[in-house]
Amino acid sequence: MDGKLLHLRSLSDAALGGIARTFQTIKLFGDLPVVDHVIVGFASHSRVGILGALVGGKRRRSEASRHAADARQLIQFVGLERLENAPASQLAYGHRRLVEIARALAVRPKVLLLDEPAAGLVAQEIEALAEVIRRLSDCGVTILLVEHRMDLIVSVSDRVTVLDYGEVIAEGSPAAIQKDPRVVTAYLGKSRAAA
């Protein structure tokens, strides 16, 4: 990253290297409130050591207050400001996905990997997700999106790489990809490609 080769052995290494990710299957902590889910993402930036966290003190309280304020800003960024104190387990599926993205953003990534973020979402939730992705891109975050929903891919991507059984079959702009006969055949079937 930034011209340097990264050797990542763990998600912690990735976070410290400026990379965050979400998973295809949502991974949240049950009834923990939304704001606390996002605060967890700041752990890699904590300046309070283990002893400071155990003992407490002014420095720990100051950092906790700052992380809570930053978490609320990220929650607002993804459009969930009215739900910051709600238990994550009680949120709609699309809102849970946005909580996961806000938590990943707390890592302050330069690169955000989104693995099938539209899986299980309805049209309105996909549009909300697309809006968050566009705003992230406008903020300078590089996003690597692994996704099957062509409508989402086309609406948020600058460049698309299409794989078919692990083999790259096309690369280019969203407009070019939509017209590529190999992509049409692989994803829509041969009868559609001939039409």
91 within some domain: yes
15 within some domain: yes
**Over 70: is that where the pLDDT of 167 sits?**
yes
**Over 90: is that where the pLDDT of 158 sits?**
yes
175 within some domain: no
Segment (H or E) for 126: helix 123-138
What is the percent of the chain with per-residue pLDDT over 70, rounded to a whole number?
A: 84
**Over 60: is that where the pLDDT of 51 sits?**
no
79 within some domain: yes
- The C-alpha atoms of residue 122 and residue 112 are separated, in whole angstroms, by 22
Q: Choose between 189 and 127: higher pLDDT.
A: 127
177 within some domain: no
Residue 154, classified by CB atoms within 10 Å of its CB into exposed (0-12), middle (13-18) or buried (19+), is middle
165 within some domain: no
**Over 90: is that where the pLDDT of 57 sits?**
no
147 within some domain: yes
Contact between residue 56 and residue 31 where contact means Cβ atoms under 8 Å apart: no
Full domain range(s) for residue 80: 11-157
Per-residue model confidence (pLDDT) at position 53: 47
180 within some domain: no
Phi, psi of 164 (to 5 degrees): -130, 110
Count CB atoms within 10 A of the CB of residue 193: 15
Mean pLDDT, residues 5-29 taken together: 80
CATH of the domain at 59: 3.40.50.300
Number of domains in the chain: 1
Which of the residue ranges 39-43, 56-60, 118-122, 159-163 would you say has the lowest mean pLDDT? 56-60
The model's pTM: 0.84
Q: What is the pLDDT of residues 169-185, one digit of tens each?
A: 999 999 999 899 999 88
- The C-alpha atoms of residue 173 and residue 190 are separated, in whole angstroms, by 22
Per-residue model confidence (pLDDT) at position 187: 79
**Over 70: is that where the pLDDT of 56 sits?**
no
Per-residue model confidence (pLDDT) at position 54: 43
Question: Tokens in use for 161?
Answer: 């790489």
Q: Taking all residues of the chain, what is their mean pLDDT, rounded to a whole number? A: 86
**Over 80: is that where the pLDDT of 100 sits?**
yes
